[in-house]
Chains A and B, each alone.
Chain A
Amino acid sequence: MEPGTDRSATVEPRDPMPDGYRRTLVRQIAQHAHSEIIGMQPEGEWIACAPSLRRKAILMAKVQDEAGHGLYLYAAAETLGTSRDDLLEALHTGRQKYSSIFNYPTLTWADVGAIGWLVDGAAIVNQVPLCRCSYGPYARAMVRICKEESFHQRQGFEILHTLSHGTPEQHAMAQDAVDRFWWPSLMMFGPPDADSPNTGQSMAWGIKRFTNDELRQRFVDIAVPQAEALGLTLPDPELRWDEERGHWHFGTPDFSELAEVVAGRGPLNAQRLAHRIRAHEDGAWVREAAAAHAAKRAARTPGQEPAA
């Protein structure tokens, strides 16, 4: 039976499944995992510069969560018959992508707030329907992730709220961060439906539950009143309540910018990837030493086989 035909039946790792379904899932879950891992960088840069010990502890916990999310997702991808090494190699050689949003710089402390509120907010809108995705391991990883993301979004909102109600300089810093992150956040939902050829198949298979444009609209509807509560404006002159549709009308993101960033020509693509590869290579001796230690101990303990 085709995955997704029966909405209540999940597909599990050892079930037979169409090759295309498997390929699509590996690509999507890997891209998702890579995004969590690369996503540690823009915020990690601010840990040492956090304005208070409380903010620092919170930011460290958040960045650690992102690492955890990457690990849940890599494990889910591995149930489809790919290996961790393959996945990392695909990231490091650019064969697999990560979310374009992480190629933008975090210039000020307010950007940490904007990432939590807008970027994690958009991620939540994307991810909540994935908790009901047809592939069991992916759906279960998403349930864990969604539970943890809501703290991420609230801490970002709190940072912006504090700045927005602080000195005029702090307010301006918060506004500037929202001005820069608003449009890239809308682009996180991907190209418009008309230019998203895989959406139909993914929806039929029960991997996606809603189209890119539906999710984008949902995010805007949630964010507009929140911006008001923050005392900040959104940088879209077309933004207005559409009585007839019962939704906020918003302008069209510059999708040529999205295409450029996805193609590798965003502000920080090269830096993000180089940093990731360096971190992996610098850690090689730790992985090798741990493996050597484990082998030595296993050899010394009679009757205990190494796990591999």
Chain B
Amino acid sequence: MSAEWPLWEVFVRARRGMSHVHVGSLHAPDAEMALRNARDVYTRRQEGVSLWVVPSSAVVASTPDLQGSFFEPAADKDYRHPTHYTVPEGVEHL
């Protein structure tokens, strides 16, 4: 043999009100087994109330090589942050 089972990325929602967070990956033959394995591998101590499994091959990622130019447009737009602005002394709730 070896047809390796596909790789899945696992996301866990720790509590209601929080978003799912990536916790790791695992191999499983299909989505149902991926969910069951994710439960056993990543939530043995009640770490989650909800699980997502996503085929790793379905993840589209930005390339680290282009990290500079890809995120660069945000670098010189300090005015998007509230700390950019001067507030006169004594003005509250702004």
Q: Give A151's nearest chain B residue, CB to CB.
A: B45
CA A61 to CA B61, docked complex, whole Å = 36
Given A84-B4, A307-B55, A308-B6, A293 and B44 touching (CB < 8 A)? no
| Chain A positions 275-308 with a Cβ under 8 Å from a chain B Cβ | 284, 287-288, 290-291, 293-294, 297-298, 306-308
Shortest beta-carbon distance, B40 to chain A, in Å?
8
| Chain A positions 189-247 with a Cβ under 8 Å from a chain B Cβ | none
Shortest beta-carbon distance, A124 to chain B, in Å?
17
Q: Give A292's nearest chain B residue, CB to CB.
A: B29
Residues of A contacting B63 in the complex (Cβ-Cβ under 8 angstroms) = 14
* A287–B64 CB distance below 8 A: no
Residues of B contacting A71 in the complex (Cβ-Cβ under 8 angstroms) = 26, 41
A141 within 8 A of B: yes
CA A14 to CA B59, docked complex, whole Å = 13
B8's partner among A61, A68, A307 (CB-CB below 8 A) is A307
Interface range on chain A: under 10, 10 to 19, 20 to 34, or 35 or more? Answer: 20 to 34
A16 within 8 A of B: yes
CA A75 to CA B6, docked complex, whole Å = 12
Residues of B contacting A75 in the complex (Cβ-Cβ under 8 angstroms) = 24-26
A64 within 8 A of B: yes
CA A99 to CA B6, docked complex, whole Å = 29
B86 within 8 A of A: no
A179 within 8 A of B: no
B79 within 8 A of A: no
* A68–B41 CB distance below 8 A: yes
